């Protein structure tokens, strides 16, 4: 470290800042029909606060706000997605009911959610499961596009255009 100059440290810091964030899941948006199906399966209403973990362009929380009057929070680690989601919320006229946060979904504060939506990957669902069960209030609904939670059996399922979706409710803590 003694041999690293101040200019070297600045160079390393600017290189690190320019690196794209590590994505646990690549960006693939849910088709609109699947978004509608997810919001119907978890019976979203205007009293809900919908969190989409890995929100992409914000379509799930924007649709929850626009179609059902819910509040929404989208979390994405990619600043480009967050910028896009904010612009989309503004165009949809729901930017007073939704907000987007640039954050790692494993670190985000999700306690205020009454509904959580996911379109991640099987191993990411399983890594996230302990956080869902620990941080979310009992009664919070969780809906996942495409991927289940292994031995946490879903209480609802649907198939839309060949895509499977799953619904769970966070149980009371033991
Ligand atoms: C498959 S896309 C789903 C987008 C959106 N939820 C939908 O269904 O249309 C996954 C999203 O997760 C984001 N992502 C990946 N790893 C993440 C992490 N650790 N924390 C937060 N977001 C992440 C990606 O940037 C991407 O936008």
Residues in the chain where the model's pLDDT stays below 50: 1, 8-9, 12
Determine the Cα–Cα distance for residues 147 and 127; give it in Å rounded to an integer. 13
The pLDDT of residue 7 is 58
Q: Which residues have C-beta within 8 Å of that of residue 57, sequence separation ≥ 6?
A: 29, 81, 84, 85, 88
Determine the Cα–Cα distance for residues 97 and 101; give it in Å rounded to an integer. 14
Q: Which residue among 38, 74, 77, 122 is best mutated to probe the pocket of ligand 1, counting the most ligand atoms within 8 A of its Cβ? A: 77
Lining residues, ligand 1, CB within 6 Å: 23-25, 27-30, 52, 54-56, 59-60, 75-78, 81, 104-105, 119, 145
The pLDDT of residue 14 is 58
DSSP-derived secondary structure letter, 50: E
The pLDDT of residue 77 is 98
For 94-135, the DSSP string reads: -TTTEEEEES-TTTS--TT-SEEEE---HHHHHHHHHHHHHH
Counting atoms of ligand 1 from 1, which one is nearest the CA of 34?
A: 8
The answer to whether 125 touches 165, Cβ cutoff 8 Å, is: no
The pLDDT of residue 173 is 83
Q: Which residue among 27, 39, 54 is best mutated to probe the pocket of ligand 1, counting the most ligand atoms within 8 A of its Cβ? A: 54
The pLDDT of residue 148 is 98
Could you tell me how far CA 133 lies from the centroid of its own chain?
16
Three-class SS state of 166:
strand
Read off the pLDDT of residues 110-131 as tens digits, 9 standing for 90 and up. 999 999 999 999 999 999 999 9
Determine the Cα–Cα distance for residues 146 and 125; give it in Å rounded to an integer. 11
Ligand 1: centre distance to CA 94 (Å)? 21
The pLDDT of residue 145 is 98
Determine the Cα–Cα distance for residues 4 and 107; give it in Å rounded to an integer. 32
Supply φ then ψ for residue 139, to 5 degrees. 100, -15
Ligand 1: centre distance to CA 53 (Å)? 7
Determine the Cα–Cα distance for residues 64 and 85; give it in Å rounded to an integer. 14
Ligand 1: centre distance to CA 69 (Å)? 23
Ligand 1: centre distance to CA 29 (Å)? 9
Residue nearest to atom 6 of ligand 1 (CA): 55
């Amino acid at each position: 470290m003694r041999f690293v100059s101040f200019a070297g440290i600045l160079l390393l810091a600017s290189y690190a800042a320019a690196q794209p964030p590590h994505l646990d899941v690549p960006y693939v948006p849910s088709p609109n029909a699947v978004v509608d199906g997810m919001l119907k399966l978890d019976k979203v209403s205007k009293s809900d606060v919908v969190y989409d973990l890995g929100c992409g362009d914000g379509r799930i929380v924007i649709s929850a706000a626009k179609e059902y009057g819910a509040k929404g929070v989208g979390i994405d680690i990619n600043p480009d997605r967050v910028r896009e989601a904010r612009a989309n919320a503004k165009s949809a006229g729901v930017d007073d009911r939704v907000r987007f946060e640039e954050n790692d979904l494993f670190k985000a504060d999700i306690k205020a959610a009454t509904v959580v939506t996911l379109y991640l990957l099987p191993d990411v669902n399983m890594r996230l499961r302990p956080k869902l069960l620990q941080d979310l209030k009992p009664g919070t609904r969780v809906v996942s596009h495409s991927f289940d939670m292994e031995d946490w059996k879903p209480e609802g399922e649907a198939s839309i255009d060949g895509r499977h979706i799953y619904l769970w409710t966070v149980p009371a803590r033991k």
